[in-house]
Amino acid sequence: MTRILMFGLILAAGCAPAPAGAAEHGRLLLIGQPTLWLEPGPGEPNGPPMNWKAGTELTVFADCPPEAAHGETWFQVGQDAPAGWLPEACLSLPPVDFDESSLRAIGQARVDRTAGLPPNYAPDDLVSVGPRYEQDRDYKLRAEAAEALAAMLAAAKADGHTLYVVSGYRPWSVQQTLYERKVKAAGRDQKTVAKPGHSEHQLGTAVDLTDGNEETLLRVSFGESPAGRWLREHAWEFGFAQSYTEHNEAETGYQPEPWHFRYWGIDQARTKHLRALGVEE
């Protein structure tokens, strides 16, 4: 619900009275291809299959404002002219005021449900990190974050907690695959996997960690394990903060993820961390 509301608000913010014809109302990126179909009206089947590629920028037309149907918000979209309707779950907000320089300063860019990264954004200073949870995979982070991670994992080990990297940098295309898979399995109202462009993993500064126990792997119960508790207490000392907590669930629109840490740099991490946990300074 929050997600749809936020999405609607963003579009409504740019909603001026439409001139005659198909006025441009906003731009959205298409997720998913070729399993989605354009439809003649909100939620009405039998439209032609679409031939746009995932990541295509579509125009949202103002003279047909978003409509609610089947519990979802639908947008009329096209390239040069309105071509059909798509539900919100098939569309991603494009980068808003994307500033390349905000990414050069590590940890600065805003990435959440409403602010996204362009499909072609990839950091240029990625390095491999470990220890790896799956030996045949190569996990990467931006250099500064990788260095901080190595220091953090060494400190955790010294305190008796061996941690493994289970996810690092993730390109737009990989996030798209994960998102589509989740939507297929859990429905279009799922709220655990971010849309492509809206995952902190695309920044190359977010890492998922595990203590190697399969039972708590990427599960909320990891937060109550000794290693999970160690991270909650010490991650900020190395410049990392937990992004999604019980406290900020309504704000972020994501369920708590005690395994997911984003590098902000030491200056910012403590504030971000305390804010996420709801602790007032």
Q: List the catalytic residues.
A: 257
What does each C-alpha distance from 270 to 103, 156, 242, 273, 275 come to in angstroms? 20, 18, 10, 5, 8
Q: How far apart, in whole angstroms, are the C-alpha atoms of residue 201 and residue 153? A: 19
Residue given tokens 């982070």 in the structure block: 141
Residue 202 C-beta: closest distance to Zn ion, Å:
11
- Judged by beta carbon, residue 77 or residue 146, the one nearer Zn ion is 146
Under rule CB under 5 A, residue 208 binds Zn ion = yes
Identify the residue among 113, 198, 260, 273 touching Zn ion (CB under 5 A).
260
Ranges assigned E (strand) in 64-156:
67-69, 72-78, 82-87, 91-92, 126-129, 139-142
Residue 274 C-beta: closest distance to Zn ion, Å:
20
Q: How far apart, in whole angstroms, are the C-alpha atoms of residue 117 and residue 255? A: 21
Residue 187 C-beta: closest distance to Zn ion, Å:
21
Under rule CB under 5 A, residue 72 binds Zn ion = no
- Stretches 9-17, 115-123, 208-216, 261-269: which one binds Zn ion (CB under 5 A)? 208-216
What does each C-alpha distance from 28 to 48, 76, 90, 271 come to in angstroms? 20, 11, 10, 33
- Stretches 18-26, 44-52, 203-211, 219-227: which one binds Zn ion (CB under 5 A)? 203-211
Residue 281 C-beta: closest distance to Zn ion, Å:
26
Residues forming beta bridges with residue 82, ordered by sequence position:
78
Name the residue with the smallest CB distance to Zn ion: 260
- Contact footprint for Zn ion (CB under 5 A): 208, 260
